[in-house]
Amino acid sequence: MPAIGITGGVSTGKTTFCDCLREIVPTAKFLNADQAARELVELDPEVQKELVAEFGREIFSRDGHLKRERLRAIVFRNAAKKSALEQILHPRIRRQWSAEAQTHRKSPNFFFADIPLLYETGGETLCDRVVVVACSPSIQLARLLQRKGIEPGAAEEMIKSQMPLEEKITRADHVVWNNGEHSVLAEQARLFVATCQA
């Protein structure tokens, strides 16, 4: 089966789309890049050492847990620090999902990789197909404010820090629109799976 990359913008609905796919194809294998990054930070001593060297010990609590909000505040204010964080995490995540994708190409089961920064990291070259989950800018902003509970200015900065959604849409093999009801998104997921199986 093909290795399928799923991307989009913050709060466009990638996770919800993946949930729809899980219901339709329960045997599918999923890789979530955000979850992989969390596991690296929590479980890999080498990654922790590199983070402390780059950002200081204060980004970890006394019991060794990453203070995500503190790290997020640093990288959103400083492009060089954001790049440093990406250099620590992205190559490791890329190796992990590249190996998993290769294994699943020989398998009868679907493999989906939910990777928010897929195009930004050149990850599309490792995919057989790319799906972009998109929604209108006003809905994206409203969802982000609701989900994260952050200030409007910070939410807009978060959206602007990513590659424009329009560019991702033009580069995608398949675009899923998530402006409306869950049932509409679920139907698009069903049609996408049917297309892949055809």
Structure tokens belonging to residue 20: 């729809």
Over residues 20-68, the pLDDT tens digits come to 999 999 999 999 999 999 999 989 999 999 999 999 999 999 888 899 8
Percent of the chain exceeding pLDDT 90 equals 67
- Pairwise CA distance, residues 15 & 63, whole Å: 30
- Pairwise CA distance, residues 33 & 101, whole Å: 13
Q: What is the pTM of this model?
A: 0.88
Question: What 3 state SS string does 46-61 have?
Answer: HHHHHHHHHHCHHHEC
pLDDT of residue 149: 67
Q: What values do phi and psi take at 16, rounded to 5?
A: -65, -40
Q: What is the dihedral of CA 195, 124, 87, 80, to 10 degrees?
A: -110
Over residues 67-82, the pLDDT tens digits come to 988 998 898 888 899 8
pLDDT band at 101 (very low <50, low <70, confident <90, very high): confident
Calculate the average pLDDT of the chain.
Answer: 92
Question: What count of other Cβ atoms lies within 10 Å of the Cβ of residue 160?
Answer: 8
pLDDT band at 97 (very low <50, low <70, confident <90, very high): confident
Instruction: Report whether 12 contacts 133 (CB < 8 A).
Output: yes
pLDDT band at 188 (very low <50, low <70, confident <90, very high): very high
